[in-house]
Structure 1
Amino acid sequence: MKNILKYHPSYNKKWGLTILTGLFLFFVLYFYEGFGIEQGLSFSGHNLFIRALIFGLFTSLSFYIHEFLLSKFLVPKNNIQNVFWALLEIFMGANVTFLLFNYFWNWTEWFWNAYFLLLGEYSSVMLIPVIMVWLWGKTQRKIEAAHHMLTFKSENGKHQLKLKEENLLFIKSEDNYVEIHYLSNHKVKHELLRNTLKRIQEQNPTFHYLIKCHRSYLVNYQNIQQTQLAKSRMLLDLGHDLFIPVSPKYIESITKLTDQ
């Protein structure tokens, strides 16, 4: 059985780029009248507001296609690829804008000098919202990472262990100590702290996936691979050759969780 809970990625960055780039371009063209844009009617008969609005909408559409459609086939995997991806988005948006620009002015600007001029101006404008979204996303990732960290402390507070939620496997009671088993670089490790299972749960009250399955065990049920039930005995398979016993009184509640 696969992990019970699956990670659902956030689309905040994608929507941020899609919306902010178009809005920013509209603001620069209409309110700031950037790049000496003509304020009167274009050859196509569109006024400044309509042209700025269409430029903004088509820029948002271009970024939407990249972020939500093309990203399914081309996924940036490192910082260099992310930079290349951002430059490609800006380049494609500039080309769409160049075509619109010539449509509004009856293709009178259909030559290389005008193309490279618009490419430079458009890129200088788009770098601002792209960098803003990147910085915002970086901040959000740090906040999210902090929220998804578990902290385990000894009774006297002198020793502590911090783990990502998904790396915690189970915690076993050993007399006056608890043995915390977790993954580090895909290897199972454990840490011994002087504490009790009850206090361990109290230290991380918002982590609802740490459940009791036995008087001596707490298990992160996100990492249950499968359950093994024979007669009145149940074992939880966490992978890595780890099998955790389930007391009879917890079998029903564990079964309900793993069936979700």
Structure 2
Amino acid sequence: MKSMHTLPLISKYAAEQPRFTLLDPVANRIALIAFCSVFSFLFMYIFLPFNINMWYEGQHLALMPLFLIFTLGGVVVMCITQFALAKIPLRRKLTNATYGCWFLGEIVLVSLVVTIVNVNIIDSFFFTWSEFTNTLYYTSFILPLPYCIALLWFFTREKMAQLKSLKQEQQAPVAKTDDSCILLRDEHDKPVLTLHPNKLLLMKAEDNYVQVFYLSGNTICKELIRTSMKKMEACLPAGTFVRAHRSYLVNLTKVVLFKKNAKGHYLQLEGLNDISVPVSATFLPTFQERFAPTA
């Protein structure tokens, strides 16, 4: 019976770990795939690791097109894992600690595809467990290096941008203090984020979390807070921050577009060009009154 009481503690600890966000931007995922593919191809072609050139002596394909085919197979796999599978709930909840498991899965899939390609273009190779494990072994030596270099670059660039924004804020003249800052807390009432109301753009409910979009200097940042939208709404000034949908809460002063399409009404916020905020029928009158007043 005592062991059962430890389960919520473990779940709580895992939920409080920082979510892996380095590959959230599409540009980062494209750069990752491009860098890994170019690096892996050049590494195989220039250094010929594991005496790979001796494996294909006497074959009808030269090494360059052969390596290009292997590289293309890896690109296809990474496009699937980084784009097609990027929106599944499991991927969206991965933390910095657990993303390594996702990467291991990518290595296994790349090895599987390369093995299948290998046995189909080379007559002397056959699809066996030994052939797959050998390919997995070689892939595990080649792919992690460019992958980690790319992630390190993204991490460094992100921290440099945050540092630059911080320096700009420190050097900026002191703003008026008419409006007090907003203190956002998590479900345990622990302070998480303090910011000026003008910097807050959007809040989006995601299961037991709220994703907060805000401005830090000229950079749009995100903070995932474990709490409810109802609790967040209570912290915000009335009139400026309103619900557009049960899962979205917006800063009215940051709305740059209010439009209707075949699916209904939606909003576009300043700086968030890739996010269309739906407006549900319950909250529609507020936006119609402000942005589409009747004559």
TM-score normalised by the chain length of structure 1:
0.58
Q: Does 1:127 align with 2:144?
A: yes
Q: 1:23 to 1:257 in 2, by over 3 A?
A: closer
1:67 to 82, 86, 89: 82
Q: In the alignment, which residue of structure 2 is the partner of 1:220?
A: 198
Aligned residues: 187
Structure 1 residue runs without a partner (length 5+): 1-8, 161-169, 174-178, 192-209, 211-218, 226-237, 246-254
Give SS of 1:183's match: strand
Instruction: Compute the displacement of 1:33 (Å).
Output: 1.7
Q: Aligned residue for 2:38?
A: 23
Contact 1:62 1:92 in 2 (8 A): yes
Pair 1:86-2:106 in alignment: no
Distance in 2, matches of 1:32 and 1:189, equals 49
Change in Cα spacing, 1:190 to 1:56, as seen in structure 2 (3 Å) is: closer
Q: Which has the larger radius of gyration?
A: 1
Equivalent residue runs for 1:3-18 within 5 Å: 10-18=25-33
Structure 1: distance between partners of 2:94 and 2:164: 24
- The alpha carbon displacement at 1:244 in A equals 7.3
Instruction: Kindly report which structure 2 residues correspond to 1:1-260, keeping only aligned pairs within 5 A, or say none.
Output: 10-38=25-53, 43=59, 45-73=60-88, 74-106=91-123, 108-149=125-166, 151=169, 172-173=177-178, 180-185=180-185, 220=198, 222-223=200-201, 240=235, 242-243=237-238, 258-260=255-257
Distance 1:76 1:105, change over 3 A: farther
Q: Structure 1 residue 132: deviation in Å?
A: 0.6
Contact 2:111 2:139 in 1 (8 A): yes
Alpha-carbon offset, residue 20 of structure 1: 1.6
- 3-state SS of 1:68 partner: helix
Task: Decide whether aligned partners of structure 1 residues 240 and 180 sit closer, same or farther in structure 2, where only a CA change above 3 A counts.
Answer: closer
What is the rounded CA distance, in whole Å, between the counterparts of 2:253 and 2:194 in structure 1? 28
Deviations 1:40-81 (CA, angstroms, capped at 9, x unpaired): 6664x2211110111112111211111011111132421232
* 1:100 alignment partner AA: V
| 8 Å Cα contact 2:184/2:235 also seen in 1 | no
Distance 2:39 2:96 in 1: 25
Q: Is the 8 A contact 1:21 1:129 kept in 2?
A: yes
Please give the alpha-carbon distance, in whole angstroms, between the structure 2 residues aligned to 1:52 and 1:190: 51
Residue in 2 that maps onto 1:205:
none
Distance 1:189 1:122, change over 3 A: closer
What residue in structure 1 maps to residue 264 of structure 2? none
1:154 to 1:10, Cα distance in 2 relative to 1, 3 A: closer
Question: TM-score, normalised on structure 2?
Answer: 0.52
Q: Does structure 1 retain, via aligned residues, the 8 Å contact 2:107–2:143? A: yes
Return the letter of the residue paired with 2:63. L
Identity %: 17
**SS of residue in 2 equivalent to 1:172:** coil
Counterpart Cα distance in 2 of 1:65 and 1:224: 30
CA gap of 1:58–1:243, structure 2 versus 1, over 3 A, is: same
Q: Distance in 1 between matches of 2:72 and 2:194?
A: 54
